[in-house]
Chains A and B, each alone.
Chain A
């Protein structure tokens, strides 16, 4: 079964995205993608998302050292277009071979107009060519969304990303976050116990989520809604987790909330939270933006 995790940037805090970055160590990837070479950006008038292929070298060390027992699980960096722009070994090639320096490839889906990007990484098959759609080695794919996707582009973005996966055996999990002020409930005690995790799942999902279901009249919007709608319509098992938090910036308590999202996923074991040093390298602290009281 192929697990796809979508980490959504729903707010500047991005605790879901940061959590995912910490939990999965970086490994090499290879996949077959669109033949367009990297750095060939279309004109600014082109609103559709495009897929670039390329190879890149991991030059920045990633700090997560936690044990993840799943095969084929890889992490992502704070993905930017510059990573894909590094010298590919086979520019424009649809399949990257596994050898030496060209071990690391990435599929980057870029919303050219708004520079939001998504990097999908998978484990490399060192023995030869690799087709991520049919790989027996790849069990989990992590999809990080590092920018905001406009409302009128969310549908096309989702179709582009999820359309690349074969639906048989596919399962999708979405992590997102929201301010607790947007949570509607008569019982104020529940909102005062933030952060808390709620979820929605598609009809074909057989997952037994470890957190409560989202109740009326609350809804999910944004890219997580687009992904879940796509999965519901196409009968793909999917679960979307949303963390309601009153914290402005990500912290260990908020990020710890997402552990529940992985308790029902058999292939992944979650380690303890990383140390403060590792946190500091991933999470930018709030910088002073006003000189009023300097």
Chain B
């Protein structure tokens, strides 16, 4: 599934993997777009698999005319980020997980989102950002996240008002997020999920919210800078071209 660009496959041992889940509003993918564009990360491989709908396009992170012509495919590994640009059609979770297990990352951060309209009463209050950590990650980074004042994702009753019902983890609209987290717990991996409650629409502000929140922990860019994230060129015309003037 992972095909390296160079002849010698890169070693991911000891690195942090940031994995966007295909979820509500594609917020995680937009957030990774900002990270890759700002840090000028380079492509290290392709996720060549039948689990994704094929697509190609010009370089979404091109900064000049010279590298604008290089094509990018539906899913790529960009220097420890993975980027899925189209939806999955087959069991992408299983294949992604196999890759994560074999690559020996020191920790994995899954970015995701969840339907805002399915929050319960307590989730409606306060910040829309939540996190989840596996037991292994809680040991390694739990105190740091608590110190940052982050809110852990609540377990909700499947039947509100029914006292006997056991609260369970639910991430509606999160795609493979819950599955990855559950597998991470079973495999005793250092895995964290950072998600934001949002709705479908213009999700660019949600992407900025998520990536700023992540930056508080991972310190990818300097927090003191006002405009610290660089918007990639592929974000132009997200909702299509404007109306042709000739129709009036």
**Given A203-B71, A229-B48: A217 touches B54 (CB 8 Å cut-off):** no
Partner of A219 from B49, B50, B56 at Cβ < 8 Å:
B56
A222–B240 CA distance with the chains assembled, in angstroms: 19
B65 to A: closest C-beta gap in Å? 10
**Are B56 and A200 in contact, CB atoms less than 8 angstroms apart?**
yes
B234 adjacent to chain A (CB < 8 Å): yes
Give the secondary structure class of B's interface. loop
Q: Which residues does chain A contribute within 8 Å of B233, judged by CB atoms? A: 216-217
Whether the Cβ atoms of A216 and B56 lie closer than 8 Å is: no
Contact (Cβ within 8 A) B241 A233: no
Q: Is A202 an interface residue (CB 8 A)?
A: yes
CB of A193 within 8 Å of the partner chain = no
With both chains docked as a complex, state the minimum distance between the C-beta of A234 and any C-beta of chain B, in angstroms.
Answer: 8
Structural contact, A220 and B55, CB atoms closer than 8 A: yes
Contact status B3-A188, CB under 8 Å: no
Indicate if the CB atoms of B241 and A188 lie closer than 8 Å.
Answer: yes
User: A184 near B54 (CB under 8 angstroms)?
Assistant: no
Q: Is B225 an interface residue (CB 8 A)?
A: no
Verify B58–A216 contact, CB threshold 8 A: yes
One digit per residue, 1 when the CB lies within 8 angstroms of any chain B CB and 0 when it does not, for chain A 47-86 equals: 0000000000000000000000000000000000000000
Q: Which residues of A contact B73 (CB under 8 A)?
A: 225, 228-229, 232-233
Q: Enumerate chain A residues within 8 angstroms of B60, measured Cβ to Cβ.
A: 216-217
B153 close to chain A: CB less than 8 A: no
Tell whether B168 is near chain A: CB-to-CB under 8 Å. no
Q: Is B125 part of the contact surface with A, judged by Cβ < 8 Å?
A: no
Once A155-B50, A184-B241 are accepted as A-B contacts, the answer to whether A217 and B71 lie under 8 Å apart by CB is: no
Pair B71/A232 contact, Cβ less than 8 Å:
yes
Task: List B contacts of A290 (CB < 8 A).
Answer: none
Contact A225 B55 (CB under 8 A): yes
Q: Please tell me which one of the listed residues A152, A226, A232 contacts residue B90 in the complex, with CB atoms under 8 A apart.
A: A152
Q: Is the CB of B244 within 8 A of A188?
A: yes
Contact B244 A191 (CB under 8 A): yes
A201 within 8 A of B: yes
Set B46, B50, B58: member contacting A200, Cβ < 8 A: B58
Interface residue from A152, A159, A225 paired with B56 (Cβ < 8 Å): A225
Q: Are B48 and A186 in contact (CB under 8 A)?
A: no
Do the beta carbons of A221 and B55 come within 8 Å of each other? yes
Asked whether A192 lies within 8 Å of B244 as measured between CB atoms, the reply is yes
The 8 Å CB contact of A184, one of B58, B62, B90, B237, is B237
Cross-chain contact A191 with B57 (CB below 8 angstroms)? no
| Chain A contacts for B240, CB-based, 8 A | 184
Closest CB-CB distance, A248 to chain B, in whole Å? 18
- Structural contact, A220 and B57, CB atoms closer than 8 A: yes
Question: Quick check: B57 and A200 within 8 Å, CB to CB?
Answer: yes
- Which of A186, A203, A222 is the one whose CB lies under 8 Å from B54? A222
Report the bound CA distance from A225 to B74 in whole Å.
9
Answer whether residue A151 sits at the interface, using C-beta atoms and an 8 A cutoff: yes
Question: For residue A46, which residues in chain B have a CB less than 8 angstroms away from its CB?
Answer: none
List the B side residues contacting A159 at CB < 8 Å. Answer: 50
Q: List which A136-169 residues lie within 8 A (CB) of chain B.
A: 151-152, 154-156, 158-159
B residues near A283, Cβ cutoff 8 Å: none
**Interface membership of B149, Cβ < 8 A:** no
Known contacts A191-B241, A217-B233; A202/B57 CB under 8 A: no
Whether A217 pairs with B234 at a CB distance below 8 angstroms is yes
Instruction: Please list 11 pairs of residues, one from A and one from B, whose beta carbons are closer than 8 Å in the complex, sorted by A's number.
Output: A152-B50, A155-B52, A159-B50, A200-B57, A200-B58, A219-B55, A220-B56, A225-B56, A229-B55, A233-B46, A233-B73
